[in-house]
Amino acid sequence: MRVSRDGVIGLILAALSLGLLVQSFSLPQLPLTPVGPGFYPRIVLGLLALAGVALFLQNVIANRADTAAVDEVPAETGFWRVPLLFGIVAAYIFLLPVLGYRLATILFVMLVMPAIEWPRSVQAWAAVISISIATSLVSHLVFERYLLVLLPRGSLTGW
Amino acid sequence: MLELLGSALLNIMQWKYLLPLFLGTLMGVIGGAIPGVTITLTIIILLPFTFGLDPLQGLAAMTGVYVGGSAGGLITASLLGIPGTPSAIATTFDGFPMARAGEPGRAVWLGIWASCFGGLIGGLFLVLVTGPLAAIALQFGPWEYFSLFILALAMVAGLAEGSLTKGLISAGIGLVIAMFGNDPVGGIPRFTFGSDFLGGGFPFLPVLIGIFAFSQIMTDVENLGRSKTARESAQVRGSLRVSQLKVIGEIISRPFLLLWSTIVGIAIGVLPAVGGSAANMLAYDQAKKLSRHPERFGKGTPEGIIASESANNANVGGSLVTIMAFGIPGDAVTAVMLGAMTIHGIQSGPLFVSQNADLAYGIYAAYILAHPLMVLIMAVAAAIMLRISQVKLSILAPIVLVLCVVGAYAVNNTMNGVYVLLIFGVLGYGLVRTGFPLAPLILGLILGEQIELNLIRAIMTDDNPWLFITRPISGGLLLVAVISVALSIWQHMRHTRRTASVEPDF
């Protein structure tokens, strides 16, 4: 029995659904209603667990039918950029309440632009710096001044 | 009736009404086009400005935002692949591939004219049949609503390319996400694990922005080296200049598609809690199922754009009728409008049209006139919007991500929304990379609470579960849901057989 990506996902999904299903039995029963807050989740989670098992079985059957089949091996891509970008976004989000919107946004854009496409000239670096500053200041002006959307203040900077 | 509508149209063309309507439509187009700034947020921003206006001026501006926003989402949906609003989700499926294939002008203008025609037909249709539609909706009990939502989920799960199981799982994940937080009946904390962060559940907008925007941007970033030419083809070769007559001809030559999508949009709009996001996806699903070439969907077919955009603007008309006839907000946008009406001392409900005929027909007139205004605004602004798609990914991605963060933060002005954005950004990217469709997940998320509420209401009213099947409308809807799933399985099997019968080309 050979299990590939979809099969593993199916099993994980079934396990998570069953975990929440068990959790739903610990929810209290309301006195005035015939069904409690766990009633509907149990139906959905039960069906989702079954769907996870179905995905696993479909994968096993498909692999058995096509023994030569292997998981798709992607061509060389820029996948390495994705975790890097998620890392920068995570850092930005956690720095927002510390540095404040304006400073954190300048740093964020300044990091994301070279992470996607490395600047190869002085002009390109100048563009990175100017776009970073412009993005932060223009968006701050538009949202705070004109759209009246309050943006995060920095606990360290006070603005 | 038509006399009243005619005089209301003349009345609304006065500058004192036309200006707020124009500004509202402009704001709506801009708000709808910016990912992370939704129609709801735009209309909330507009709300304080309407307090100083007379009721019709304020409601005209809000109607303009609603119409403009419903159409504005198509710009980013087509040119960036990121729906500016949830009501433009299905537009991305074909609008973006068409733009990438070098026809951004055709993609955008098909959407604009389809929005205009769908909205206008929807407006006219609703003025004429408000009474009968209201009578039908009034017959709906919790059984019918529950069955309707199940039908919607079944239909959208059928959109999944390749695997119905993955489509159903995706819908199920959406339903599970909606379960976190307090249960909608008794307010009991559910799956919170003692955490304050999970206490309020996952806010809808950050989840939506995270799933769609992050999955799109990260996929683009990942494919940067590989699909650079594909991405740039829409930018370099594309122009928004198209023959308007040709585009209009493309839409007019598909009258059944336009009319059916409009009817789907109206029907979904009339029903409470099912907004434009469901309307455009259901219309898209219908168009795909009824098409002679369903395999072309998702690859840049005009049918997909026409169905999605005509439905989401027609949906606005449906929502307006619901609020005017029943006093029930169809979605978050009309909920804000209902609040504004209350502030002005206007009681919406069954007597609204008869007691406030000038105002009611004024809203209809504003709704109808907002569509040509929207086309005018798009004609001027669409060229500017093309510049957005011509910007390099290294410039575009950080700006869009910043807007997403701002949009998620602005929902409650707390960082919780931003954390949710990141969590669901990772989930959305993971799902796309493993071949799970996102549309069923979003619909599950939207409908989750309403499905549960109506299920519990039905059981509390009568614990006989057979009522879901024996009540004619409810049973009929469930039957259509089963047929829809069966049709999807049949289509999938037919597609597999056809693929298998074709010799591989090495």
Task: Say if the Cβ atoms of B409 and A35 lie within 8 Å.
Answer: no
Nearest CA in chain B to A109: B398
| Most A-contacting residue of B42, B165, B205, B419 (CB-CB within 10 A), to test interface | B165
Buried/exposed B355-389: b ≥16 CB within 10 Å, e otherwise: ebeebbbbbbbbbbbbbebbbebbeebbeebbebb
Q: What is the 3-state secondary structure (H, E, C) of B115-180?
A: HHHHHHHHHHHHHHHHHHHHHHHHCCCHHHHHHHHHHHHHHHHCCCCCCHHHHHHHHHHHHHHHHC
Q: Using an 8 Å CB-CB cutoff, list chain B residues near A52.
A: 169
Q: Label residue A20 by pLDDT band (50, 70, 90).
A: very high
End-to-end CA distance of chain A: 59
What's the pLDDT score for residue B229?
40
**Size of the A and B interface in Cβ pairs below 8 Å:** 161
Task: Return the closest-CA partner of residue B424 out of B214, B219, B180.
Answer: B214
| Most B-contacting residue of A8, A82, A139 (CB-CB within 10 A), to test interface | A82
CA dist., res. B476 & res. B486, Å (int)? 15
Task: Specify the higher pLDDT residue, A123 or B41.
Answer: A123
Using DSSP, state whether B182 is helix, strand or coil: strand
End-to-end CA distance of chain B: 66
Contact indicator for B304, B298 with CB cutoff of 8 Å: yes
Task: Say if the Cβ atoms of B173 and A44 lie within 8 Å.
Answer: no
Amino acid letter, residue A75: A
Among the ranges given (A15-29, A48-62, B199-213, B375-389), the one the predictor scored with the smallest mean pLDDT: B375-389
A35 touches chain B (CB under 8 A): yes
Nearest C-alpha of chain B: how many angstroms from A17?
Answer: 9
Q: Using an 8 Å CB-CB cutoff, list chain B residues near A7.
A: none
Q: What is the DSSP letter of B186?
A: T
Q: pLDDT per position in chain B (506 positions), as tens?
A: 778 888 888 988 999 899 999 999 988 888 787 765 567 767 766 765 676 678 888 889 989 998 888 888 888 888 878 777 778 888 988 888 888 888 888 888 999 999 999 999 888 877 876 666 656 666 778 898 888 778 877 876 765 556 788 888 998 999 999 999 988 888 889 998 888 888 888 887 788 778 877 887 888 788 776 644 434 444 435 677 788 898 899 889 988 999 999 988 888 887 654 566 778 888 898 888 888 888 888 888 899 999 999 998 888 888 887 777 666 665 667 766 776 777 677 776 656 777 777 888 888 899 999 999 999 998 887 767 656 545 677 887 898 788 888 878 877 788 998 999 999 999 999 998 898 887 778 778 877 887 898 899 999 888 888 999 999 989 998 998 888 788 878 877 776 676 666 544 33
Task: Say if the Cβ atoms of A117 and B394 lie within 8 Å.
Answer: yes
Task: Return the closest-CA partner of residue B190 out of A34, A32, A26.
Answer: A26
Task: Say if the Cβ atoms of A93 and B405 lie within 8 Å.
Answer: yes
Q: To 10 degrees, what angle do helices B2-12 and B15-33 make?
A: 80
A147 is written with which tokens? 């759209």
Q: What is the DSSP letter of B214?
A: I
A151 is written with which tokens? 């943006």
Task: Say if the Cβ atoms of A149 and B169 lie within 8 Å.
Answer: no
Determine the longest span between alpha carbons in chain B, in angstroms: 72
Contact indicator for B315, B268 with CB cutoff of 8 Å: yes
A52 touches chain B (CB under 8 A): yes
Which own/partner contact pairs does B8-11 have at CB distance under 8 Å and 24+ positions apart? B8/B358, B8/B361, B8/B362, B8/B364, B8/B365, B9/B365, B9/B368, B9/B369, B11/B358, B11/B362, B11/B365
CA dist., res. B144 & res. B227, Å (int)? 46
User: Hey, where are the domains in chain A?
Assistant: 5-69, 81-146
Q: Is the dihedral of CA B408, B338, B447, B364 positive or negative?
A: negative
What's the pLDDT score for residue B299?
84
A 66-95 residues with CB < 8 A to B: 75-79, 81-82, 85-86, 89-90, 92-93
CA dist., res. A76 & res. A31, Å (int)? 59
What's the pLDDT score for residue B141?
84
CA dist., res. B220 & res. B228, Å (int)? 9
Q: Using an 8 Å CB-CB cutoff, list chain A residues near B394.
A: 112-114, 116-117
**Which residues, 6+ apart, have CB-to-CB distance to B291 below 8 Å?**
B297, B301, B303
Contact indicator for B404, B36 with CB cutoff of 8 Å: yes
Of B41, B394, B415, the CB nearest to A116: B394
Q: Using an 8 Å CB-CB cutoff, list chain A residues near B392.
A: 117
A55 touches chain B (CB under 8 A): yes
Contact indicator for B442, B157 with CB cutoff of 8 Å: no
A49 touches chain B (CB under 8 A): no
Q: Label residue A121 by pLDDT band (50, 70, 90).
A: very high
Angstrom distances, CA of residue A25 to CA of A89, B123, B183, B497 = 37, 49, 14, 44
Task: Say if the Cβ atoms of A37 and B222 lie within 8 Å.
Answer: no
CA dist., res. B117 & res. A152, Å (int)? 42
Nearest CA in chain B to A78: B222
A133 touches chain B (CB under 8 A): no
Task: Say if the Cβ atoms of A82 and B429 lie within 8 Å.
Answer: yes
What's the pLDDT score for residue A68?
53
A27 touches chain B (CB under 8 A): yes
Task: Say if the Cβ atoms of A86 and B425 lie within 8 Å.
Answer: yes
Q: Using an 8 Å CB-CB cutoff, list chain A residues near B424.
A: none
Tokens 């996870």 label which residue? A52
**Which residues, 6+ apart, have CB-to-CB distance to B451 below 8 Å?**
A40, B146, B149, B150, B153, B175
Average pLDDT value for residue range A14-34 = 88
Among the ranges given (A89-98, A111-120, B100-109), the one the predictor scored with the smallest mean pLDDT: B100-109
Task: Say if the Cβ atoms of A81 and B425 lie within 8 Å.
Answer: no
Nearest C-alpha of chain A: how many angstroms from B114?
Answer: 30
Average pLDDT, chain A: 87
Using DSSP, state whether B254 is helix, strand or coil: coil
A13 touches chain B (CB under 8 A): yes
Q: What is the 3-state secondary structure (H, E, C) of B257-272?
A: HHHHHHHHHHHHHHCC
Nearest CA in chain A to B426: A86
Q: Using an 8 Å CB-CB cutoff, list chain A residues near B398.
A: 108-109, 112-113, 135
Angstrom distances, CA of residue B198 to CA of A30, A90, B194, B277 = 21, 19, 8, 25
